[in-house]
Structures are given as structure tokens and as C-alpha cells.
Amino acid sequence: MYTARQILVPVDFSDVSRAAISAALQIAADHGGSVHLLFVEEGMNRDLKRRLDTAPQDSVIEDTIRLNEQSLLDAAELEMQRCIDAGAPLPPVPLTVHVTGGEWLEQILEFARNLELDLVVTGTHGRKGVKGILTGSVSEKLVARSPCSVLVVKPHGFPYLRD
């Protein structure tokens, strides 16, 4: 039987990432698993290097990391509250937040390998037009390259809070 004990959710604070958080919390609750929420600040590595060189006592990066960590926790709490409001409260789910710098896809893949994940739950914005046809979406690339299973969630259409 398949179990999803270690679940990663890449979060960009959009509607689709909120749908992914909700799905991951429900799956983790059903499987006795834990959820890792990941936010990737694409320019953070460059900013950190620049700030260390020009103002080593500057705390802007640390403050930004703490703010993003709190935002991740708030997003998970909101989805847990939505479950309660819908009359289907979830048991407590162990939750870890990660904020890092770099490129989204590479960071997700690195976390998937390092945490020995069972599942990545991600939302999709669905690339449109010629660029989408030529390059594909991050979700498509993630499915192709991930060392574990990937569940791609649309913001509308996921059966929230169903038995």
C-alpha cells in the first residue's frame, strides 16, 4: 500500500499553492505524514552575497526569511481553519517550513532528494501560448525529473474535504 509520510509543497502564495497546501494537509492527515512547506526567493542568493559584501551587519535578509516563514505557517493555518469551517477538521499534522534562495525547480528537486520525500504536491498555473508550448511549465518539468511521486493540483476542481 502506498503511503505518503514525507510531503513537500512548493509555495508561491497564489491560489494554486493554497490548493496544494490543503491537499497536502489532507493527505498527510490520512497517512500519518508530515508536510514541508518550501518558499524559494529567487533573488535571495544574489542579495545575500551583495549585502554581506556591502553591509555585513544588515538584517534585511534574516528579516525577510522570518517574514516568509511566518507567511508559510499562516497559509497552513488558514487551510486548517478552512477544514474546521467546512465541518471536517483535520488532526494536527507535523509541519516544517523552509525558505531558501535559488531557482524554483532545482530547489524543489534538491529538497526532494535530501528529505527522501514520498510526494510533492504542487499547484499549476498552466503556461499558455507559444512559451508554454516550447518550454513547458515548472510542474511538467518537476513531474519529469522528480525522484518521488508528484501530485499536480488545480485551484478549481480539487475535491476539497471529500471523504
The most confident of 21-25, 38-42, 62-66, by mean pLDDT = 21-25
- Tell me the CA distances in angstroms from 113 to 4, 8, 119, 135, 149, one per residue in order: 15, 11, 11, 24, 12
* Percent of the chain whose pLDDT exceeds 70: 78
**pLDDT band (50, 70, 90) for residue 138:** confident
The pTM for the full model equals 0.83
Q: How far apart are CA 78 and CA 99, in angstroms?
A: 19
- Domain 6-153 annotated CATH 3.40.50.620: yes
Q: Of 106, 98, 102, 122, give the one whose Cα is nearest residue 18.
A: 122
Task: Kindly report the average pLDDT of the chain as a whole number.
Answer: 83
Question: Strand, helix or coil at 100?
Answer: strand
Mean pLDDT throughout 1-5? 84
Q: How far apart are CA 145 and CA 117, in angstroms?
A: 14
